[in-house]
Structure 1
Amino acid sequence: MNHTQDADVIIVGAGIAGSGLACALARYNLRILLLEKRRRLGSIHRGDSLVPKNTALLAKWGILEAFIQAGAEPITHMELHHHRHGRIYRAPLLAGSSPYLVLPHAKIEKTLLEQALATGKVNLVQPAKALNLIHRDQLAIGGIRYQDEQGTHEVYAPIVVGADGHKSIIREQIGVEVDAYHYDHAYFGLEAQRPTHYENAMRVQLHPEGGVLLMPRPDRVGVGMLVAANSSNYWLKLPDAELTQILVSRAPILEGMPLYREGSHVYSLVRSHAKRYWLEGAVIIGDAAHTTNPTAGQGMAMALSDAGALAEQIGPVLAAGETTLTNALTQYGQQQWSVNQKLVRSSHRLALVYAKRGPFWHRLKTTGIKLLANPLAVSLTRPVIASFLESA
């Protein structure tokens, strides 16, 4: 049965991947329906890195300046510090022309959504709960049924995009399997007042009980502390004085700095990758398709890269008035799956090393880092780091 098309693209989820895709597709003068189940976008402390391959995309979409205006902080170096002996490693992060920017996750989501809506091509329904996909025949998806405050609705489009997170209803309904690996560690995210002698850098404080990552804010620093899995209740209920003592023991630079615990969150970590990304008429991107350990800072990077790659494939086809996207989705699935699989694996390997705790592993990691700190080693590793951050 044929239905009037309500949009050219329906996107389920207005997070990083969904709003990013809306920004990318709006360039093709398409009608985009964006469904978001949350009444308000998130405020917890999660990934905040806009790596160079992502800022290159934002510039291509014409919205990079909006992130700078929102307060994004540039970083150019990575530093590793021993908890007692100070800095033991420093290396540049950049090789190309695109900047590495840091902005709180909630502000990235907010800015992406604002820029998508500013195009005039995006219709946002919020809150809206996706109920089920609508099949146009036995093999293809033709639309979606959703519920908002006015009731239940059916909408139709050539493509439904699931950007609805790691518990994706779209992934489930197109029958895509995903294997999950649960890590034995987690990250506790919060903020602290910015120390006067902290310089903008990806700064890792090494400690036998687990490292602490510091990232810049205008007047604060974002703090990500390695903790044990399933320890959320302990850390979130810990009194400020005890938490401060633990943080300062791992990251002495935070001594005397007040903590800001609003939005603090213990981030459970899972590695997963869907076996495939699409069924005729529907496709998944971002966390709906893959989750990765954040140690390498690639989760949000992969979500935005998915958005850019998918828009490049389906945007021109839809703009030409075509509604059959089989070839475009095949190309997207083949190319992006391989790219993402490589990133999932490399992030996993790095995470396993970083998460090793105890005196033995601390000494081993410290020794290895000191060997890498000589100028020759830094020059040899710089292209590797740049490739990881700048390649699609």
Structure 2
Amino acid sequence: MDYDVIIVGASIAGCTAATAYGRAGLRVALVERQRSPQAHKTLCGHFVLGGAHDVLQRMGFWQPMLAHGAAVTTGLGVWTGSGWVVPGTGSAVPSAISLRRSKLDPLLREIAGATPGVDLLLGHRVVDLVEGPSGAVAGVVVSRGGAERIVLRARLVVAADGHHSTVARLARVAEDSAPNNRFLFWTYYEGATMNGPGDGQVWPLDPDTAVCIRVDDGLTQVGVFPAKDRLPEFTADRAAAFDRFVERLPDGPALTGARRVSNLVGTTDYPCIRRDPTPRAGLALIGDAATASDPVPAVGCGWAFRSAAWLADATAEPLAQGGNLHRALRSYRRAHRFIDKYDALGRQEALAKPPTALQLAVRTAAVSDPDIARRLAMFAMRAADPSVLLNPKVMVRALVGSRMRTPRGRPSGPSRLATG
């Protein structure tokens, strides 16, 4: 069976790409190994950074997400030893949005499946690739659970099947893995009260991190990202260690009387993985299949939406008109460098090393400097190139500003503020 595009994986990245290609008039096979349209990813914090706001609006996803109860974060507070950093009103920092994957994945799948030109093939597992005479990827072979094999062909195959990508493995795509020296757990509360400023908070406790975010159905998500030297504490009694961590957060959420409505979700190891997003002729990778970054800055969902949109922007017209696909994929590769820059920084942060003097200076100066606070927020929301914050002029201004401010309550032991 012939298509213009075959997309493997019907979650965020795959559904976004399929919807975009279908709206461009292309015939799309959206292949998903799960049989149920309600299937969803569980190990995902689902906080979509503000940098993806424009893509969500352009794709028509923002309003349906709100209709399904998504919570919007307009001002994320960042705790420092010198006070809280919150971007001021009128700072033009785009809003973030959060909708649990149990709602988001089925919603996106419904939108993609209803798009003219898109065939949603649930319960189809990719077992092999089809190669053209020149070695280009020319399609996939899928199984529906029995001995039958179905061959699907297309000019472009898109791997949107996660950081354990089957397509990438079959295509022998090289994998670059880097360690993550933190682990993560989160849960959801009903009736929790935030005490920090803004409508969400982040605590960079050096090297530990914590977050508190509003999500759908009026729930509050509380997550902790401790350094791995605290694994024995969590192994002994995970729930008790989590509670102790949260109780000791400065201006942390008030959970007395709140009801925990889920088990702890998380993992003790989440390495950073990246692959070339255009590794072979006729093949492109999007979302976690291309870049599975450190989860602490919550970039995963945003990268999935954005990389899928960038790929469709670059390749839809050449696919529709028989144009130069190789050139179009180079254009996508250039767009993807935005992610590569942040991923390189994220890999350094994932080592959980003590913050540099410049990092501390930026946080301290941002408490009282609105421009640095805005730049820090744009950086955190991945709403601009890293140079919005990481440039010589801002660094000098931060160093000068931090020296003019006397820290209050800075912990003498940077990683032990939240220790039980």
TM range (shorter): 0.7 to 0.9
What residue in structure 2 maps to residue 282 of structure 1? 283
Q: How does 1:1-392 map to 2 (within 5 A)?
A: 5-40=1-36, 41-81=39-79, 88-92=84-88, 95-96=91-92, 98-149=94-145, 151-197=148-194, 201-205=199-203, 207=205, 210-217=208-215, 218-229=217-228, 235=234, 238=237, 240=239, 243-250=242-249, 252-256=252-256, 257-262=258-263, 264-266=265-267, 268-275=269-276, 277-320=278-321, 322=322, 325-333=325-333, 335-352=334-351, 355-356=352-353, 369-374=363-368, 376=369, 378-386=370-378, 389-391=382-384
Distance across 1 between alignment mates of 2:233 and 2:107: 33
Q: Is 2:307–2:336's contact at 8 Å kept on the other side of the alignment? A: no
Rounded to whole Å, the distance in 2 between the matches of 1:232 and 1:19 is 36
TM-score w.r.t. length of structure 1: 0.84
Assess, with a 3 A threshold, how the Cα gap between structure 1 residues 241 and 270 changes in structure 2: closer, same or farther.
closer
* CA deviation map 1:258-279 (0-9, x unaligned): 3233472226322232245232
Structure 2 CA distance, aligned partners of 1:51 and 1:283?
Answer: 24
* Long gaps (5+) in structure 2: 386-420
Measured in 2, the distance between the counterparts of 1:311 and 1:300 equals: 17
Report the identity percentage: 21
**Larger strand fraction of residues:** 1
**CA distance in 1: counterparts of 2:359 and 2:87, whole angstroms:** 17
CA distance in 1, matches of 2:144, 2:103: 25
| Mapped partners of 1:314, 1:22: distance in 2 | 12
Distance (whole Å) between structure 1 residues aligned to residue 113 and residue 150 of structure 2: 22
1:189–1:267 Cα contact (<8 Å) kept: no
Separation in structure 2 between the aligned mates of residue 215 and residue 380 of structure 1, nearest angstrom: 23
Single out whichever of 36-45 and 22-31 deviates more from structure 2. 36-45
Shift of 1:242: 5.7
**Cα shift at 1:195:** 2.0
What is the Cα deviation at residue 243 of structure 1? 4.0
User: What secondary structure, in the 3-state scheme, does the structure 2 residue paired with 1:261 have?
Assistant: coil
Distance 1:249 1:10, change over 3 A: same
Residue 159 of structure 1 and its aligned partner are, at CA, apart by 1.2
Say which SS state the counterpart of residue 347 (structure 1) adopts: helix
Change in Cα spacing, 1:349 to 1:70, as seen in structure 2 (3 Å) is same
Aligned alpha-carbon RMSD (Å): 3.2
Quote the Cα distance in structure 1 between the aligned partners of 2:207 and 2:331.
45
Give the 3 Å change call, closer, same or farther, for CA 197–98 of structure 1 in structure 2.
Answer: closer
AA in 1 matched with 2:70: A
The residue identity in structure 2 corresponding to 1:266 is: T
Deviation at 1:302, TM superposition (A): 1.6
**For 1:136-155, what per-residue CA distance to the aligned partner results, in whole angstroms no more than 9, with x for missing partners?**
21421221101114532111
Partner Cα distance (2:28, 2:54) in 1: 23
Do the aligned residues in 2 keep the contact of 1:12 with 1:36 (CA within 8 Å)? yes
CA contact (8 A) 2:362 2:372 kept: no
Q: What amino acid is the match of 2:53?
A: T
Q: Return closer, same or farther for 1:131/1:317 CA change in 2, 3 Å cut-off.
A: same
Give the Cα separation in 2 of the matches to 1:250 and 1:39.
42
Contact 2:76 2:199 in 1 (8 A): yes
Task: Give a deviation string over 1:297-355, Cα, whole Å, max 9, x none.
Answer: 222222211111110111112222x276222112222x134222111122234444xx4
Q: CA deviation at 1:111?
A: 2.1
In the TM superposition, residue 18 of structure 1 has moved relative to its aligned partner by 0.8
The one-letter code of the counterpart of 2:332 is Y
| Aligned-pair CA distance for 1:11 | 0.5
Taking a change above 3 Å as real, the CA distance of residues 197 and 263 of structure 1, as seen in their structure-2 partners, is closer
User: 1:181 offset after TM fit, Å?
Assistant: 0.4
Task: Give the C-alpha shift of residue 254 in structure 1.
Answer: 3.6
Contact 1:247-1:254 at 8 Å conserved across structures: no
More displaced, 161-170 or 117-126? 117-126
Between the aligned partners of 1:363 and 1:211, the Cα distance in structure 2 is: 18
When residues 194 and 120 of structure 1 are mapped into structure 2, their CA distance, relative to the original with a 3 A threshold, is: farther
